[in-house]
Amino acid sequence: MTVDELPENETGICIVRSHGMPPLKIKEMTDKGFEVVDLTCLDVKKVQQKAVELAKENYLVLILGKPEHPEVIAIKANADMYSNSVYVIPDIKTLESMQSEIKQHKRIGIVIQTTQRAEFLHEVVNYVMPFAEELKIYNTICKSTSRRQNEARELAKTSDLMIVAGSKKSANTTHLAQILGEIAPTIHIETDSDLDNYQDIIKKSTNIGITAGASTPENIIKNVIKKLETI
């Protein structure tokens, strides 16, 4: 069962999912007598640790990612324990809006959500570089995410159409669709039934490439392939 608030007068096991969780939430679970099983992804823990290091060393900490994403919420919560200068940057416009704040800090540190795009990291680094006397950058994008993106790019170069299968709430899946959309016509679907909405473009395509998000179940990918064969 997934819960947002801890039930009263109950005990048991609480599992911290792979995205991680704010430290105070974890403390609340242990204080209430729950057994905590921390399944935070090791790559995510690395981002948390690097953000904390930067905060302790009095850097202006920039976390590149989506503010509402559980992974980013947990990263910021960890760094917030050691600094008041921790900001989440979802896009360049946000960075531009806080230029005066950036100029006040000569030491700037950057970490990035594990499922973000490398291009975004490059954009931010290029933007803040003129303002920083000391710039510390941690490329904390998950290696498997980077590999999947690079392999999908190569596939898109030889495809008339790319199909990305996976949840539209998944950060790594939506970023994958965005990247491929810049190379070839791309559709993002959640299940094989969504293909019914794209029959025209599918029938006109000779070479179709298929990829999926990290958490997309294998049976969904198999069903997509089967459905394409019938179309």
Q: Where are the beta strands (DSSP E) in 39-176?
A: 60-64, 86-89, 107-112, 134-137, 161-165
Which positions are annotated as active-site residues? 71
Give the span between the Cα atoms of 73 and 171, in whole angstroms. Answer: 14
H-helix or E-strand containing 95?
Answer: helix 92-97
Alpha-carbon span 34 to 68, nearest angstrom: 26
CB 75 within 8 A of CB 52: no
Q: CB atoms < 10 A from the CB of 189, how many?
A: 21
Task: Give the C-alpha separation, 212 to 93, whole Å.
Answer: 29
Q: In this structure, how many other beta carbons lie within 10 angstroms of the beta carbon of residue 3? A: 7
* Cα–Cα distance measured from residue 228 to residue 69, given in angstroms and rounded to the nearest whole number: 32
If residue 54 lies in a helix (H) or strand (E), which one and from where to where? helix 42-56
Spatial neighbors of 4 by CB under 8 A, at least 6 apart, are none
**Please, are residues 45 and 20 in contact by the beta-carbon 8 Å criterion?**
yes
